[in-house]
Amino acid sequence: MSLRLGDTAPDFTQDSSEGSIRFYDFLGNSWGILFSHPADYTPVCTTELGYTAKLQDEFSKRGVKAIALSVDDVESHKGWITDINETQNTTVNFPIIADKDRSVSTLYDFIHPNASETLTVRSLVITDPNKKIRLIITYPASTGRNFNEILRVVDSLQLTDNHKVATPANWQQGDEVVIVPSLKDEEEIKQRFPKGYKAVKPYLRLTPQPEQN
């Protein structure tokens, strides 16, 4: 199954380091980050899971729940979590799905035969509160993910869902944003963007980030 942006994220029930989890129940009305790992006790994944744990406050501020996946079993996960907490000086505070039968990995297309017949690639999916897939990123197994970039994307998605704007290249919280080209009514523009805007070109209009002090 090949998932695309805008698809409804498939639901599943699977064992995890925190017991049996039904994905939709776990998410509730939150945004979600589901990210896969090639196997337990792998060095890059150990750093990723540790860093994700350290970002818990940042995820909570944004209404985001993180959940990881690896193809090993629950007992292996629990031993690995001990190592993660020790080596990364943190406490893993989210579940790791035990996908030994690879059913979730197959459902989400996390196994790429050209890379490995059995191990998941380093993929990450962001879902919104409506369970729609809003981002899919796949890294090679040798490259750790940039979780600061994941936070940036969540910020962009949440901002652009609530305002008729898009975020330009390298945008960070507080930077100018782009008024979407479909918004043409000047009265509505004045109402939505009381700080005004700068028209670099008729199709490229920059305005201060809404709701930003």
**CB atoms inside a 10 Å sphere around CB 134:** 20
**Neighbouring-strand partners of residue 132:** 8
Please identify which residue in the block is written with the tokens 């796949």: 138
Q: Where on the phi/psi map is residue 56: left (φ > 0), alpha (ψ -120 to 50), or beta?
A: alpha
Annotation marks residue 45 as catalytic: yes
Give the count of alpha carbons within 13 A of 126, CB side only: 21
Please tell me whether residue 120 adopts helix, strand or coil conformation: coil
3-state secondary structure of 121: coil
> Is 54 in contact with 40 (CB distance < 8 Å)?
no
Q: Which of 9, 45, 119, 179 is catalytic?
A: 45
Q: Among candidates 64, 69, 66, which has minimal Cα distance to 38?
A: 69
Q: Quote the CA–CA distance of 99 and 15 in Å, as a whole number.
A: 8
Which segments of 133-185 does DSSP mark as H helices, in order?
Answer: 147-162
Asked if 177 and 212 count as a contact pair (C-beta separation under 8 A), the reply is no
| In the block, residue with structure tokens 């080596």 | 87
Residues taking part in catalysis: 45
